[in-house]
Amino acid sequence: MSELIPLIEQVHACTLCAEHLEHGVRPVVQLHESAKILIAGQAPGRKVHESGVPFDDASGDRLRDWMGIDKTTFYDETQIAILPMGFCYPGSHKGKGKSGDLAPRAECALTWREAILSKLDHIELTLVIGQYAQAYHLGKRLNVTESVRAWQDYWPEQVPLPHPSPRNNIWMAKNPWFSQTLLPELKSEVARILGF
């Protein structure tokens, strides 16, 4: 039996943060020991919390486009692992001029991340999405734009990415080099790893 299966079962049964999650506990991960690409994201959003399917939203559509793959490939757990920094929807900001979702709960990474990553022996490429994942995986506290602009420093094992949310359309417009330079390389590397 895979050593990862008991861990996945424990993750799905986890209630560590229950008292802090106004929308309830629903860990959303996609894991298999043979996966070749790891998506290290932030935390599920409201729609993903409701469906229980990772990146089942507009962000997922854009991320699949960035990777050059379809939904069938994306949701093949033997190829693609999805391990956000927080496994459950953290809720959203209310008032005070802030918008968007709250930060991922820290308990997930502290409790589960190293144990799970140690079982993913076939990962060739990690997509490191957003500031929390970048701080953890890249070991540097740069802002997202600086991290993404320095993507070649981490290539080809890791690639820092902005969050693919439609909320980042302005960022995309201000940083055309991302689509012109980084994305063609990313699509090519994903195709190579997955044998397209």
> Checking DSSP bridges between strand 125-129 and strand 37-40, what pairing results, if any?
parallel
**Continuous H helices in 3-57:** 4-12, 46-51
For residues 63 and 49, give the distance between their C-alpha atoms in angstroms, rounded to a whole number.
18
pLDDT at 27: 96
Tally of residues, the chain: 196
pLDDT at 101: 87
* Residue from 94, 104, 67 nearest 182 by CA: 67
> Checking DSSP bridges between strand 125-129 and strand 80-82, what pairing results, if any?
unpaired
Percentage of residues in the chain having pLDDT higher than 90 = 89
Number of Cβ atoms within 10 Å of the Cβ of 35:
23
pLDDT at 29: 97
Percentage of residues in the chain having pLDDT higher than 70 = 97
> Checking DSSP bridges between strand 80-82 and strand 37-40, what pairing results, if any?
parallel
For residues 63 and 20, give the distance between their C-alpha atoms in angstroms, rounded to a whole number.
29
Instruction: State mean pLDDT over 42-64.
Output: 94
Q: What are the beta bridge partners of residue 81?
A: 38
SS3 11: helix
- Residues 85-107 have pLDDT tens digits of 999 999 987 755 566 789 999 99
Instruction: State mean pLDDT over 69-91.
Output: 97
Residue in this structure with the two tokens 């602009």, named with its chain if needed: 149
Its pTM stands at 0.94
Instruction: State mean pLDDT over 18-47.
Output: 95
